[in-house]
Amino acid sequence: MLLSFLGGKFVGYYGASAKQLSPQNSISVAKFRIRAFAGRKSMKKLRREGQPRESVTLPNKQTLPEDSSVLADTSPSKDDDIKNGKSVYSAPQNSISIPSRSNVLQACTITSGLIAALGLIIRQVSHVGSMEGLPILDCSMEVSFGFEMWHLELITGLVMLISSCRYVLLKTWPNFAESSEKANQQVLSSLQPYDYLVVAFLPGMSEELLFRGALLPIFGLDWKSVLVVATLFGVLHLGNGRKYSFAVWATFVGIVYGYATIISSSVVVPMASHALNNLVGGILWRYTSKSLE
């Protein structure tokens, strides 16, 4: 038996030879004994204070919130994403999706083509039905593609009226201004200036061909038909950021174009007025909107 003075106590080692108790082994054993003694002393202190033994546990995720931050710091940084060509922009929840220029032009062309085709089909069917003696109006006879010089004055007046009313509403009706801004951002933001001719004339001409050149004569050339077709026209302008205020505006515009169609008996008047108003509105938005700055 060897005695060693450790931690204020003599500690005995039975069955240990001198070779086994070399200086290095003695130091290792001494460290182990000191740790064991300190551990027992801590447990005794905890029992005296009434703290259960099970409460002495190793730290986990909940007790060490720093672990999560350390792990989070190991995630790829924004600089790394930029270097790798990844986008680090997180769009707001209420942000507007801006389609590409090609997508806008393609959608405009296809949609306008389908609308125009539907209008032409209705006009042709009504013509054939009227020729066969069916009790329906011949759209091509009631509202033609004819044009007279005084129609220029009517078109000019319509453009001035619609553009002026739009300007006043943009300044006095916040909901309408917001709806118009969202719609313009979505359609016009990615376009070049000369593209405005496409998105102004194709929808304007095709929509008027369907609503004022086909549906209005079918329902009858009177104020009731004007109101019904204009309401349908307004409802179909909801969506894509446009609220009820924009539908009200489109309904008003539809009434004006319907009246112009009745007094001119020509679909060219509303088609030209609608297209020019679209162009004026787009140009004014491009050079006054802060979203393009």
Q: What is the pLDDT of residues 1-10, one digit of tens each?
A: 444 444 444 4
Bridge partner residues of 5 (DSSP) = 10
Do the beta carbons of residue 187 and residue 199 sit within 8 Å? yes
Give how far Cα 39 sits from Cα of 33, 35, 54, 88, Å: 10, 6, 14, 51
CA torsion through residues 185, 190, 193, 197, sign: negative
Terminal Cα-to-Cα distance of the chain (whole angstroms): 91
Which of 131, 115, 108 has its CA nearest to residue 215? 115
Predicted pLDDT of residue 177? 93
- The overall average pLDDT reported for the chain is 79
Q: Distance between CA 14 and CA 17 in Å, rounded?
A: 9
Alpha helices in the chain (DSSP H): 23-48, 66-73, 78-83, 101-131, 139-142, 150-172, 174-188, 196-210, 216-219, 223-235, 244-264, 268-288
Mean pLDDT of 260-279: 98
Q: Distance between CA 244 and CA 235 in Å, rounded?
A: 8
Tens-digit pLDDT profile for residues 10-57: 444 444 444 444 445 444 544 545 554 555 555 555 555 554 444 444
Predicted pLDDT of residue 136? 87
Least confident of 91-100, 116-125, 168-177, 271-280: 91-100
Tens-digit pLDDT profile for residues 131-187: 999 888 899 999 999 999 999 999 999 999 999 999 999 999 999 999 999 889 999
Do the beta carbons of residue 231 and residue 215 sit within 8 Å? no
Least confident of 113-127, 129-143, 251-265, 279-293: 279-293
The angle formed by the CA atoms of residues 136, 253 and 226, to the nearest 5 degrees, is 25
Which residue shows structure tokens 């319509």?
Answer: 158
Q: Is the pLDDT of residue 69 over 70?
A: no
